[in-house]
Every structure is written in structure tokens, then in C-alpha cells.
Amino acid sequence: MLKTRIIPCLLVMNNGLVKTVKFKNPSYVGDPINAIRIYNDKEVDELILLDISATQENKEPNYKLISDAASECFMPLTYGGGIKTLDQAKKIFEIGVEKLSLNNSAYEKPELISRIASAYGTQSVIASIDIKKNMWGRYDVVLQRATKSVGVAPIEYAKQLESLGAGEIMLTSVDREGTWEGYHLEILQKVSSAVNIPVICNGGAGKLEHIREAVFNGGASGVAIGSMAVYQRKGMGVLINFPARHEIEKLLQE
């Protein structure tokens, strides 16, 4: 069995570290580079850095920020936001980023997944799927920070992304993101069972037990944490933190 990874997922906007709730109302929580330095000291497994404004504002990836992050980051780094071409991907890999997360472009330019996977290996591509419950109670894939539904079922979409060459899936529940209420285990289990590549769950972690549930009940290979990684606890102030190694080992014991 692959080692379960617990991964801080940092959101940036205009060079600042922010946190959202259900993809809305970004609140400034600090400097992303300082946060990375703290995660270095805490020896986290991996780090995901997502620029949530790049695609929506039709901007190039922020190469200066990516370079600063890669220079400071001692652990494998994934970057997502504004990636639309193979040339952009090449530039980001040359900076020192290990993986790219593709969200809107995975849907709008699916061939980009195959091209990046062919050039750099499937392990370099994470296909990001954002899901949200529609008015009929079903879950749809959504784009552009959950403002656009594309009417695609998450399970079939995950299979398609795998067939294109994605090496991992990151599944984010918009309805749970930033709520501290736990991951959406039902959808997570269905997606992880439908594909043969690792699935990272994201959106909703509020306590260590949620992480355990995602792994043992949802089949997650990786668990992304957002609010838990930047706040002391729900309703309290900013504190860049990460579970202690002994807590993680105890948590993931079968």
C-alpha cells in the first residue's frame, strides 16, 4: 500500500495567502512563503499551491511567486492556476515544481493532460475535479471557482481524466470546502473505486478523525487540508500548523 500523504493545500490570490469557504469570500491569512518555511520545519509530505485568481482573471501563472515558493520548499511541490499550454508547463517544471494541477484546462483542453504526461510522465499531472450538489441533489463537475456547471458526472469524468494520462485525481467538494465538517466520503469512495490512480480528497477537513475516515472509508491515497493547516481551529485565529508525526502515525494505524 502506498504511503498516505497529508498535504497542506494553500490558496493564493495577488501574492497573498488566502482561505475561502465554499470557494467564496477569500480571507487573507498571511504570506505564502512564510507558510512554506514553517511547513519545512514541520516536515510535511507534500505541498499544493493553487493560484485561485489566475484562470478566472485570464492571467499567466505567477512565475515569480512559483519560483520563490519552489526555492523555499523542501518537499515535493504541486502548482495549479492559469496553466493553458505546454510551454507554460515546461517553464514551471524548469523552475523546480514537481507536479502540476490542472482544473479548468483539464476540461477545456483535455489534450494538454496527454501532452504533459507524454513529455514529463503521468506522475507529473494531477487532474483536479471540483464537485457541487445541483438543485436535483446530484453532484456535478464545476469550473471557474464553482460558478460554471458543465453537467458532467464526477465518476465518469475521473475515468476520462485517467485515460488521458493524469497520474492522480484531486477531488474537491465545494459544499464542504472551508466548513470543517468533514470530507464527502460517499463521492470520494465512488471515485477512488472507479479509477486505478491515487485520489487526493480535499474540502472539509476539521479534525484528525476526518483524515482517517477519508483514508479507511473513502479510499483516499492522499488527504489535502486547508483550514486545518492555516487556522488554530474553527472560529479562531491564523496559525500555520500541521499534525505532529506521532499523531499521524497513530491516526493511520489500521
Please give the positions annotated as active site.
130
Which residue's entry shows cell 502548482?
A: 79
Residues sharing a CB contact under 8 Å with residue 182, sequence separation 6 or more, in sequence order: 176, 204, 205, 206, 210, 213
254's grid cell: 489500521
Residues sharing a CB contact under 8 Å with residue 73, sequence separation 6 or more, in sequence order: 36, 39, 40, 47
The Cα 3–Cα 81 span in angstroms is: 27
